[in-house]
Structure 1
C-alpha cells in the first residue's frame, strides 16, 4: 500500500525552493552511499525550476556524484527541441548544464521536430522506460525503472505533470506514458507520465507555492477524486511529501498539520 501524504511548510517560495533543494541533495547522496546511483524524475514550472537552480547553489551540491544520477522527466511540452518552453531546456539552464553528468543517464522526452505527434513521442518514451527497467533488473514485466524521487508541481486546477482534470490522461490505467491533446494550458500538445507510472516512485515530492495553489492543495489533501483533482491521486510507494509555502498551505486539512507538518521559521 502506498504512503499517505505528509506536509512540510516553509515561510515563502524562496525558502521553500532552497529547503527542497537541500533535501534533494541529501537524499541523492544517501542513495548513492547505499547502492552507488540514484534516480530522480524532474518537473517543470516556476517553483520546480527554482528548486533546480537552488540545488546548484547548495553548499552540499558536491556531496552527490552527478555522473551517477539518472534523470527522467514527468512531462514535457510537445514543441521543438530548441524551444525555450521545453522543461528540458529550462532544467538544463537552471542546473543540468552546470553539472558533470553522464549523457546516457539523461532521458528527455522527444520533441516536435523529432516525432510526428505527442502519441509517437509517448510511445518512444514508454519503450525507453521499459528498456531501462530491464537493465535495472526490475524484471521482464516491469514497465518503468526504479524512481527514487519523483518531483511534481501542482497547478491551480490541481493538474500534475500534464494530467489535467477530466481529461483522458488522468483516466489512463494501462500505459505508462500518454500523449496529451487539447491541454487547457498552452501549449495544447504535451507528453506525460500517467498516474500509474508516477505512483511507482519510491518517494513523490509535490512542491507548491502561492495562494493560487491553496484551493487545489486543500482539495487534493482532503481526498477528492483524482479524475476531478489529479493531485489527489498521488501516492509514493514509501513517501508522499507535500512541500508547501504558507500561502499554498492555507487550506490544508488541520489533521495533517502536526509534527513535521507545522510551519517552519
Structure 2
C-alpha cells in the first residue's frame, strides 16, 4: 500500500484476542519510539471490551517494562458521567486493565470528573477542556496525542460523538457535555472532532460482524455527520484494526498485510 499519511489502513487479525495482542505490540513500539529521547507522549484511551482487551495485553507484554511511563500521559476520548467507582467509567476500566499495573505517576492520568465529584455535567466538561489546555500546543489548546484509540459502534459512533447529533459538528470547543445519549448511560463527556483529529495517529479498534457495515461506510467515505467514524483521521496515520468478522465488507486492496 501507499505510504501516504492520508490513506486509511486496515489491519486484520483472525480473532479479537489476536487483534488485541497485535495492537498492544504496535502500541508499545510507538510509545517506545516517542519517549526514547525523553519526549512526552500523550495517549487518548477508549473504553469498551476491545479497549480493555488491548490494555490488558499491554500490561501482560514483557516489553511494557521497557517504557519510561513517567513520560506518558493518559486521557480519554470520552467518559461516562457516573460515580467514580462505577464500573461504567472508562477510566476505572483502564486503571483495572493497565494503569494500576505500570509505574505511571498519578498526575499523568487525566480523568474527566465523575458525577460524584461535586461538579455538574457542564462544569465537568469545562474542567476537562481546561485540563487539556494545560498541555496545549502552539496550534491549539489541547495536546496532540501520539496515539488516539477509538472504538466504533455499530451505528458508526466514535467517542461519544453519535450520528446526526450536534456534538459531531462542533469545532469551537475541546470537550462537550452529552445528554440523552442514544447509548446508556445518558450523560457523558466527549472530546470533539478537532481534538481527535489533531492526533498524530488515530487507531480505530473494532471487532464483530455487527461492526462490518459501519466499517464499510467509514472506508467508503460516508458523511461524518451520519457515520462519525468516517471523519476520524490522524495527521500521520489512520489505522482500522479489525478482526475477520468486522472485515467482511472490506475490499481486499484496502487491507495492509505489513503494518
Partner of 1:128: 131
Partner of 1:15: 18
Aligned residues: CA RMSD = 1.5
SS in structure 1 at match of 2:216: helix
Partner of 2:226: 228
Tell me the CA shift for residue 259 of structure 1: 4.7
Structure 2: gaps of 5 or more residues: none
Tell me the CA shift for residue 5 of structure 1: 0.9
Q: What is the CA deviation profile of residues 154-186 of structure 1, one whole-angstrom value per residue up to 9, with x for unaligned ones?
A: 001110001100111111111111110110110
- Whether contact under 8 Å (1:2, 1:235) holds in the other structure is no
Partner of 1:219: 217
Tell me the CA shift for residue 60 of structure 1: 1.0
Cα distance between partner residues in 1 of 2:31 and 2:15: 24
Q: Which residue, out of 159, 164, 170, partners 1:161?
A: 159
Cα distance change on mapping 1:258 and 1:146 into 2, 3 Å? closer
Cα distance between partner residues in 2 of 1:102 and 1:201: 22
Cα distance between partner residues in 2 of 1:36 and 1:233: 29
Q: Equivalent residues in 2 for 1:147-186 (5 A)?
A: 147-186=145-184
Q: Is 2:39 the partner of 1:33?
A: no
- Whether contact under 8 Å (1:81, 1:111) holds in the other structure is yes
Tell me the CA shift for residue 74 of structure 1: 0.5
Partner of 1:62: 65
Aligned structure 1 segments of 4 or more residues deviating by more than 6 angstroms? none
Tell me the CA shift for residue 49 of structure 1: 0.6
Q: What is the CA deviation profile of residues 43-80 of structure 1, one whole-angstrom value per residue up to 9, with x for unaligned ones?
A: 00100111000001112111211122111110000001
Task: Give TM-score, length-normalised by structure 1.
Answer: 0.93
Cα distance between partner residues in 2 of 1:142 and 1:257: 33
Structure 1: gaps of 5 or more residues: none
Query: Between Structure 1 and Structure 2, how many residues are aligned?
Result: 256
Task: Give TM-score, length-normalised by structure 2.
Answer: 0.95
Q: What is the CA deviation profile of residues 134-171 of structure 1, one whole-angstrom value per residue up to 9, with x for unaligned ones?
A: xxxx23x6211121100001001110001100111111
Q: What is the CA deviation profile of residues 234-258 of structure 1, one whole-angstrom value per residue up to 9, with x for unaligned ones?
A: 0100000111111111112344135
Cα distance between partner residues in 2 of 1:99 and 1:122: 28
Point out the more displaced range, 246-255 or 83-92: 246-255
Partner of 2:250: 252
- Whether contact under 8 Å (2:113, 2:119) holds in the other structure is no
SS in structure 1 at match of 2:246: coil
SS in structure 2 at match of 1:71: strand
- Whether contact under 8 Å (2:152, 2:204) holds in the other structure is yes
Cα distance between partner residues in 1 of 2:120 and 2:202: 29
